[in-house]
């Protein structure tokens, strides 16, 4: 029993305002500067960065399909615009990383096993929960991965791209977690326990897959396996706390529409 249920779900209109404002407050990327990648950075970072660049460039068609169904169920048409702006932000990440690869004379990836696996899970069923669950887990890893790349490179351009992605992902995780809290709200206790058991198993698999695919870049950025593993679970526990329905006050009959006084994510 949680006695301090004080969080509030932000309305879709609040999220639309946030994404629009964030699009206007992007960090300046010093594109005029040389790429400045050492041979070692090219060997260690670039192969895995190509995979992440591909992952960031999803066209969003499946999310939009899921959002239409979800928004209709919830009676919250504004959510579709929030989802569209979220997709635009991910595509901006992919666009900046792609432009960086172009500047470095590296071809962009066309396929990547991690990306293929991730898309398969999301596309299997176009439902918001099936979509948001793996996304929040990968975004949790993005917080570690882009920090590792930021630390591992001397390239001012790449560092700035990573800083922007890191800032944006904090808000993305909150966006997904609020959706999941809404979706889990009212679920029978045994089913919620089963859901969280599935989350832990699935997160274990994703975490191991991220390590296998990106361990060289992670290690170069200061994350050996033990630190990476501990950090991943610590960040995911934070996300699980954010998606816990018991942490929220459920006073409004239509939480998706309830404008709330709580501030939007700081710095993102």
Q: Using CB under 5 A, list all residues that contact Fe ion.
A: 56, 90, 93, 139, 169, 172
How far apart are CB 50 and Fe ion at their closest, in Å?
15
How far apart are CB 144 and Fe ion at their closest, in Å?
13
Q: How far apart are CA 255 and CA 79, in angstroms?
A: 12
How far apart are CB 83 and Fe ion at their closest, in Å?
12
- Residue 131: other Cβ atoms inside 10 A: 24
**Closest to Fe ion by CB, 140 or 244:** 140
**Closest to Fe ion by CB, 93 or 179:** 93
**Closest to Fe ion by CB, 83 or 246:** 83
**Closest to Fe ion by CB, 43 or 158:** 158
How far apart are CB 268 and Fe ion at their closest, in Å?
11
How far apart are CB 1 and Fe ion at their closest, in Å?
33
**Closest to Fe ion by CB, 187 or 238:** 238
Residue nearest to Fe ion (CB): 172
- Residue 194: other Cβ atoms inside 10 A: 12
């Amino acid at each position: 029993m949680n006695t301090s249920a004080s969080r509030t779900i932000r309305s879709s209109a609040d999220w639309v305002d946030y994404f629009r404002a964030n699009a206007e407050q992007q960090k300046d990327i010093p594109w005029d500067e040389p790429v400045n990648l050492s041979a070692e950075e090219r060997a260690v970072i670039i192969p895995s960065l190509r995979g992440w660049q591909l992952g960031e460039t999803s066209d969003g068609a499946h999310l939009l399909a899921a959002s239409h169904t979800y928004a209709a169920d919830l009676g919250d048409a504004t959510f579709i615009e929030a989802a569209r702006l979220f997709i635009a932000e991910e595509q901006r990440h992919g666009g900046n990383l792609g432009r960086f690869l172009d500047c470095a004379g590296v071809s962009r990836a066309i396929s990547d096993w991690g990306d293929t696996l991730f898309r398969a899970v999301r596309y299997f069923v176009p439902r918001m929960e099936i979509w948001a669950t793996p996304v929040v887990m990968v975004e949790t890893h993005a917080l570690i991965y882009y920090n590792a790349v930021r630390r591992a490179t001397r390239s001012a351009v790449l560092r700035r791209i990573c800083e922007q992605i890191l800032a944006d992902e904090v808000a993305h995780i909150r966006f997904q977690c609020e959706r999941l809290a809404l979706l889990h709200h009212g679920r029978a206790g045994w089913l919620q326990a089963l859901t969280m058991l599935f989350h832990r198993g699935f997160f274990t698999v994703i975490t191991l897959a991220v390590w296998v695919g990106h361990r060289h870049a992670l290690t170069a950025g200061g994350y050996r396996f033990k630190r990476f593993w501990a950090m991943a679970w610590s960040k995911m526990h934070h996300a699980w706390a954010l998606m816990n329905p018991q942490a929220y006050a459920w006073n409004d009959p239509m939480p998706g529409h309830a404008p709330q006084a709580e501030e939007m994510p700081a710095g993102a």
